[in-house]
Amino acid sequence: MSDLFLIAHIAGRAVAIESRQVESVVDIGAIVPVPGTDRQVRGLAALRSRVVTVIDTHAALGLPAPEIEATRAVITQVEGHHYAILVDSLEDVAPFDLTPLSPGIVLDRGWRTTGCGIVERAGEPILAIDLRALVPGLAAIAA
């Protein structure tokens, strides 16, 4: 059975995000830093009347900071809080079949916790990721 996936680019790689996790896709304006938090928390931003916590995806994945600050973000809601997950760019939304990671493939660094399978677009395998794994400070993430 196919599900809708949003194809985005993070750190130069294409990733697939299950559309059920995506509330909206926005351009983030001014970000107010939150001193004292983990590096993954880029800060707070206003989204209309809502305050969202902006997640620095590079930091969450354990990657070096990008040269150009990302301003696009995918909004997701986890445990009642809204998060803006920064992405480099967005492609399209299309139905794909999610298949498990092929045996033997071990993801590196932060990708390991967030990768949850593979979707195939015209022969090109794309890593499907779970946004919740990028959000720090959650009690426990269901496998």
Residues that bind other proteins in the complex, under the rule CB under 8 A: 30, 32-38, 40-41, 44-46, 48-51, 53, 79, 81, 83, 135-139
Minimum distance, C-beta of residue 108 to other proteins, in the bound complex (Å): 23
Considering the complex, state which of residue 34 and residue 105 has its C-beta at the smaller distance from other proteins: 34
One-letter identity of residue 22 = V
Closest CA relative to residue 134, chosen from 63, 45, 66: 63
Look-up of token digits 């909206």: 24
Which one, 60 or 119, has the nearer CB to other proteins?
A: 60
Radius of gyration of the chain (CA): 15
Q: Quick one: 38 or 120, whose CB is closer to other proteins?
A: 38
**Shortest Cβ distance from residue 65 to other proteins (Å)?**
17
What is the nearest approach in angstroms of other proteins to the Cβ of residue 56? 11
Query: Minimal distance in Å, beta carbon 110 to other proteins?
Result: 15
Residue with Cβ nearer other proteins (28 or 126) = 28
Phi/psi-derived region of residue 82, left when phi > 0, alpha when psi is between -120 and 50, beta in every other case: beta
Closest CA to 75 of 50, 40, 93: 50
62: left (phi over 0), alpha (psi -120 to 50) or beta: left
